[in-house]
Amino acid sequence: RHELAVKAARRRARRTEAIGQGPHTRKKQYHSLLAPPQHQQIETSSPTVSANMGATLDKFMTIEEVPEEWRSLDVTVGGPIDAGTFCDNGVRTYKYNLVNFFPKSMFEQMRRTANQYFLLICIMMFLGTYTTWFYSPLTPWSTFLPLMIILLVTMAKEGFEDVKRHQSDKRVNNCDATILSVDPGDAPGTVQTLRRKDLRPGHVVVIGDREEIPADLILLWSSEGPQAYVETSNIDGETNLKIKKPALIDDEPIIQSPETAKNTQLSSTFEPPCGRVHTFEGTLKANEQSIPLDATQFLLRGSTLRNTKKALGVVAYTGRDTRLVRNSRDVPSKLSELERVVNMMVYFILFAMIIITTISMIAYVVWFSGHKAHLWYMCYRYNSADVPALFRENCESSDNYAPGSTWPTFFILYNNFVPISLYVTIEMINYVQASYIDNDLEMYDDEDDVPALARTSNMNADLGMIAHIFSDKTGTLTRNIMEFKKCACAGQIYEKGATLRGKVASSSVERDLVEIMAVCHTVVPDEDGYQAESPDEEALVKGAAELGMKFTARSTEGVEVDGKRYLVLATIPFNSTRKRMSALVQGPDGKARILCKGADNIMFGLTGKDSFKRFAGGRPALDDCLQQFSRVGLRTLVLGRRDVSRSEKDKFLKAWRAAETATEDRKGKLAEAAALIERDFEIVGATAIEDRLQDGVPETIHELAKAEIKLWVLTGDKVETAINIAKSAKLLTDDMFLVKLPAEGATKGPEGDWGLGAQLTALEAVVQRAATPDPAAVSARSSLQESTLREPLDDDPQRTPASLASDHLALVVEGATAMETILGNEELEQRFLKLANVCKAVVACRVSPAQKRLIVGLVRRKDTTRPVTLAIGDGANDVGMIQEAHIGVGISGKEGRQAVNNSDFAIGQFRFLKPLLLKHGRRNYRRMSKVIVYSFFKNIVLTFVLFYYQADCGWSGTSFYEAWVYSGFNFFLAFTPLAFGWFDVDTSAETVRKYPRLYAAGLHRMDLNVTNMAYATLEAVGASLLIYFVTRQVYWRPQNVWAHRGKDGDLWVFGTAVFVGMVNAMLLRAALLVDSWNKYHVYFFILQFIALYTFIMFMSEVWPTRSVDWFLDYDYYGVAFHSFELGVYWLLTFILVPVACAALQLLVVGVHLEFFPNVNDIGRELDHGHVDGESLEHSRRGAFVPLRSKYSLHGLVDRCLGRPAQQKPDLVTQDSIRSVSDSLGPGRAAQIGLAATPESGFDYSHAADQSFHAPSPVSASGVI
């Protein structure tokens, strides 16, 4: 995306220079959530751009770019317009047309490595068949046609989807739009209707109530006077109404009505097209006066006019230039972890294929050298005197191939090493698995009528491999339904009630606080109550109404509270950088005041010498009140005000109006103007708002923790608020010790790192000391370990044995200090990750949206264990981390649908994350792993059988499979993988809910990794040896075994017997792999038998006439009849070969289950009630699980070998931490940021299911 931006900048620079103007450059800082990581670079060959841009992106993606020129538009209302070079208003979302569909779609398909591979094989087959370069043992059509079918099916799917885009575009573009007539002869106020795609800049559009705005407009007139209301849910998902103001001259609209608008002269200059939906800059000239334009006069295409009967707006941008289209972007393409592993396996298989191809060629050369003298009948040394003349004549006209040409021959022969149907099978399985998620009633939110939605089907299996979850707090863990609960005023804390209401009724500081709540906001009243841009504002306005100051009306001039009118002279809006909102108002008493509300750390920085004189006890008392609010998990805002003199008011308004009309650096000038008046606030108090936890959050977090998934909570709240919410949500428990970065009381220091370097060094030493095993504990553990099974996770090769972990450490990190220092510092990043991996949970406070994205990217890219990450959120500020994580989950919440629109999966509540991961994720991972390993297994068997046959045919590269039968191998075994992926259930959902640790199957990559693939390859080699040589021994005396009515066995009879026996063996293997049978499995197996025998009989019993001789082989005619009439054939292919392979499979499975069982095997035994002993232990303290009787075979082997299975010292226990803390002393522990979790004064779990009961933890005593 950034490369395209740079290319566009180059084109603009060249165009600007061509007309004789210097390339006007502007420095732009990308704070976008979608900005790529800082290590990415932009390279350009343009000297002008590169001189200003530089070669490397800095931390905030600062680059020099050449923007488009500002646009100028001159309009005479009711007169003809000059569209100039502007684009039309049509929207095109389709990808293909009739001309480019085939080449462009084919190009897209060829981007897949497997398709490229099989296309290369087809080309080699054609060259080997129709040239004399080398010999192709297979007809090219046997691979080319299946490949074309696969490509055409996929292309047809894309074409069908694109047709729907064409139809959607046609419907949108042909919708009616109403404009003021552009015919000078029409009467004033006359309207005309045209298609939406025919709108051009300069048209004056008439919009009615609840009509969608057809293009980006500048608002000229509203039937509601100096204001209009729009809803932008189609753009950002927010359903709250937003106030818009028409362009005004002396507080009057330029146009008084549609009837008087004719012949009005308008001249506007505004910014070039861009994707920013919340800002707009421009200037409108009318009646020789300039009017500043900003976002309040700008109506976005796609938004809807509400609570306004009619409005007029002049078109500014059309079609692809509109904000909606410019802002439209695809969710970043993500390669699933499963696809990455499959690619590794493909490379592994290709490497093995190259090896056996080379071995075959070498064997051919060696064999040929030793037998060349006896091969005159194959045209070798046919010029010898003893060779008959007939052979000499035939050989002189035959093809001769060089010995080296056998390498491509063998490469073609072994092409089925990679299953051609694998990717199609995976796509079909992914589609059905996604439908399971979409239709799961367990994840249906009946309260808001929101079902689960799989927006990206290729990430289904990755849901079973999640190691880290990054969660927003507000609206994700909490309900985002705010309620005003308390306030701090005059040194006291007031509950919402009669006492506070009585104080507000009189003239007091309490009244001043509630006045700010009722006046300083952007809330709009409507028939249903209030429409607010954020739930906090709505809660404060409702709270003020309950306390006797009810907000009742809003106009462009001001607001009305309890019948009293407040003139709003200027509003300085809230944003994530300012973290405050201010309003300059003139009260009923005629005095001008600046009212402000914001985060405490921001407001305290805007105070003066006597700012706390009205708060009894001053700043310390207010800090204490804020701490009390935070301890019970309430969200806090500090409120302030100041009387403003007339001269200061006039000075500010002059600067503010000038900044609003500025055409350059408007944002900076607005900030400078705001600084003139946002100072020396008189602090009147603080508010506390409650945001309850969602239902089921504590138990969901508890179960995910038992599944060994690490949860990160990333929030902008204060440290104390975040800690207490985390305790209420059971993320932090009373037996945990907190590590705080930076330590309390830390200063920035001379190095500017808040002492983090020294603190991390000290914490690493503490963790290492705590990880040292206690000899007494080891002795006690050894007695427990006798006759028990070692922890299954320790068997996983992907797990690092020396890694440290603790269930009793939690990390709390502050964004504005610690994360600001850590991010970008390579050494601190690695040390931070090392500490975070030890801790059970991480809470990051005061983090910005950009820091959320960077934290997710840090764990995803720099954690050496390569964890699969998941980010979940509900608002626009979560989009960055949702797109950065491997898997993004959006919650359909109160903050719009931007998170959902940018996610891979969407759910209605946080609690649905449990079934999404533990049920669907684990099941999808296990199913897909089985499908992939089985698909490779059967093709390895197929290829190695051909490899063995080469030793019996002089390494000539001959296939003893008929070409079409050979190419149909994957089709004959296509339905069993589908049955695995669609229906197989290894462990019931109830068992997984009871034992969340069974999720470790995917978390530790137990089923699908290169090691397992190597083991499967070895077993496939063994199975192929049995299939080939058992059948070969039966054929060793063909005259004795196969002679029947004068017939004899040949190459095709032998090959058919091997092939059918192999297919039956693979079907039996699949049957033994099925964990849960149903009728569909039976149907699929029967269907595959029918397909196999129908195809073989067709190929061998239909006489190849001239019209189909390219398809049917003369040599194969009658083979099926000759084979099927013999009883020994059925004995061999249905019993002997399949049973031999099944015996090998059962032997391998039996040894694995008895000596090397893992957590998956334990789960199946638990599911069927076949495990004796204690149940599966979930805590990592229980590293050894007594699952079998001490008299079992594996226990006997362990005792004979003298291996009592001693535990590695990789767990940091609560006792070991307490022991180290005692040796440090309280003072030193506080210096390095180590402390016990504070007691929570408020139980947030009251909003959750009361049936949840967490296990009673052992409380950590004292503060370290």
What residues are annotated to the active site? 472
**HEC per residue, 1241-1258:** CCCHHHHCCCCCCCCCCC
Nearest to 243 by CA among 588, 579, 587, 573: 573
493: DSSP letter: E
Under a CB-based contact definition with an 8 Å cutoff, are residues 44 and 11 in contact?
no
Rounded Cα distance between 659 and 638, Å, is: 27
Pairing of strands 841-845, 710-714: parallel
Under a CB-based contact definition with an 8 Å cutoff, are residues 584 and 644 in contact?
yes
818: DSSP letter: I
Nearest to 476 by CA among 719, 726, 689: 726
Q: What angle do CA 798, 803, 808 make, to 5 degrees?
A: 125
Tokens coding 400: 């001769």
* Sequential DSSP letters for 516-584: HHHHSS--EEETTEEE-SSHHHHHHHHHHHHTT--EEEE-SSEEEETTEEEEEEEEE---TTT-EEEEE
Rounded Cα distance between 1196 and 534, Å, is: 66
Tokens coding 1194: 């594996």
List of residues 6+ apart from 157 with CB closer than 8 A: none
Strand partners, 88: none
Greatest CA separation found in the chain?
Answer: 130
Nearest to 1253 by CA among 702, 808, 708: 702
Nearest to 472 by CA among 19, 1084, 895, 864: 895
At 30, is the secondary structure helix, strand, or coil? coil
Write out the H or E segment, with its range, that includes residue 390.
helix 389-396
380: DSSP letter: S
Angle between helical axes of 922-950 and 422-438 (0-180°, round to 10)? 170
Write out the H or E segment, with its range, that includes residue 114.
helix 113-130
Rounded Cα distance between 74 and 81, Å, is: 9
Strand partners, 269: 72, 283
923: DSSP letter: H
Rounded Cα distance between 679 and 233, Å, is: 36
From the number of C-beta atoms within 10 Å of its C-beta (0-12, 13-18, 19+), residue 824 rates as middle
| Beta-sheet strands, E only, within 181-240 | 191-195, 204-208, 216-222, 228-231
Residue identified by tokens 């097209």 is 273
Pairing of strands 310-317, 868-873: unpaired
List of residues 6+ apart from 312 with CB closer than 8 A: 180, 204, 205, 206, 207, 219, 220, 221, 222, 255, 258, 261
End-to-end CA distance of the chain: 50
From the number of C-beta atoms within 10 Å of its C-beta (0-12, 13-18, 19+), residue 18 rates as exposed
Rounded Cα distance between 454 and 903, Å, is: 9
